[in-house]
Amino acid sequence: VEMFMNYDCELEESNLFERTTWNLKELVELGDPSAPANRIVKGAALSSLLSIIKSIDAWAGPMRDKMAAAAASGGVVATAAENGTSGVGAQRQPVDGSGAGADLSEAERFGTAKQRKVTVEAGISRFNKDPISGVSSLVSAGIIEDTPESIVAFLRKYRKELDKTQVGEYLGHHEDAQLAVMHKYVDTEDFAGLRVDDALRRLLQDFRLPGEAQKIDRIMEKFAERYCKDNPGVFKTADAAYLLSFAIIMLNTDAHNPMVDEKMSMEDFVLMNAAATAGDDPDGAEGD
């Protein structure tokens, strides 16, 4: 029971109880029970499953007894029925103060936590296939609010579970809602004191740039604006920072694209960006 509460009901933890019981069930169903090794494994797995059932029964026993006693005396009122609600969050309260309601509330609290986790996992799975649809489903389920702040907080909190390519596609979308999220995402970064290439690495550590040039353009434009705000004086204008940032992305693509036979040299890169950085980097740090 503690394993279920501490892992399966916690958003940041793995479903350890579910995986354990599932694997034990698979072991119980091993083929050829006549094989000595299989008999030993199947017996141990079955014994473990029975221990789990006994543990759950022991935990639920006091609650079950109190509910039965309260029901027999007519002391339990189903508030869910009175309020016209049902489901995991519905609570039953004893009118005689016996404490059955408190026990049931604990069980329902964990049930609610587990259901929330299931909803979040389903939303993440949906996001990794269709990010706009995934965000919409999470908003509809009440997991996040339909605001840039809430969506950005979700993207950062679950960055390990979210597909980096899909995050990039979402941030690069042209609709106003996604643009607002992308702007908030970039504005929550701190690029102060970083070289422009290091700032780019920080920005792109949790998502991949989308493939379309227009989407990259929107993200780089906002990045350049934020970089110049955090590092006044490095570039005279945000346009210069934008041009150099875009060029760095192009250089990276050129270097790692197996379809490009003739790679860009350092001299070519410097010449290409000479006009963009001329006079904008007083110390020469960014150009170097």
> How confident is the chain (288 residues) per 10-residue block, as mean pLDDT?
78 83 87 74 88 83 75 57 41 41 67 89 97 97 96 96 97 96 98 96 95 93 96 91 88 65 68 60 48
Per-residue pLDDT, 126? 98
Per-residue pLDDT, 154? 97
My answer on whether 95 and 200 are in the same domain is: no
CA atoms within 13 Å, Cβ hemisphere of 256: 6
Per-residue pLDDT, 99? 46
My answer on whether 114 and 194 are in the same domain is: no
In a domain, 264, yes or no: yes
Token digits of residue 182? 């992308």
CATH of the domain at 202: 1.10.1000.11
Please tell me whether the overall predicted TM-score, pTM, comes out greater than 0.85 for this model. Answer: no
DSSP 231: S
DSSP 190: -
Per-residue pLDDT, 257? 59
My answer on whether 111 and 214 are in the same domain is: no
In a domain, 75, yes or no: yes
Per-residue pLDDT, 78? 46
Token digits of residue 201? 């690495």
Token digits of residue 45? 């797995």
DSSP 207: -
Dist CA 225 CA 241 (whole Å): 8
- Residue ranges making up the domain that contains 101: 2-80+89-119
In a domain, 146, yes or no: no
Dist CA 246 CA 216 (whole Å): 8
In a domain, 179, yes or no: no
In a domain, 280, yes or no: yes
My answer on whether 16 and 99 are in the same domain is: yes
> Three-state SS for 63?
helix
Per-residue pLDDT, 88? 38
DSSP 8: I
Per-residue pLDDT, 261? 63
> Three-state SS for 226?
helix
> Three-state SS for 209?
coil
Q: Which of 212, 221, 262, 267 is catalytic?
A: 212
In a domain, 167, yes or no: no
Per-residue pLDDT, 82? 44
The beta-strand segments (E) located in the chain are 76-78, 92-94
In a domain, 133, yes or no: no
CA distances from 228 to 101, 201, 270 (A): 58, 16, 21
Dist CA 18 CA 114 (whole Å): 11
Contact between 273 and 284 under an 8 Å Cβ cutoff? The reply is no
Q: How many domains does the chain have?
A: 2
53 contact partners, CB below 8 Å, separation of at least 6 = none
Active site residue 212: yes
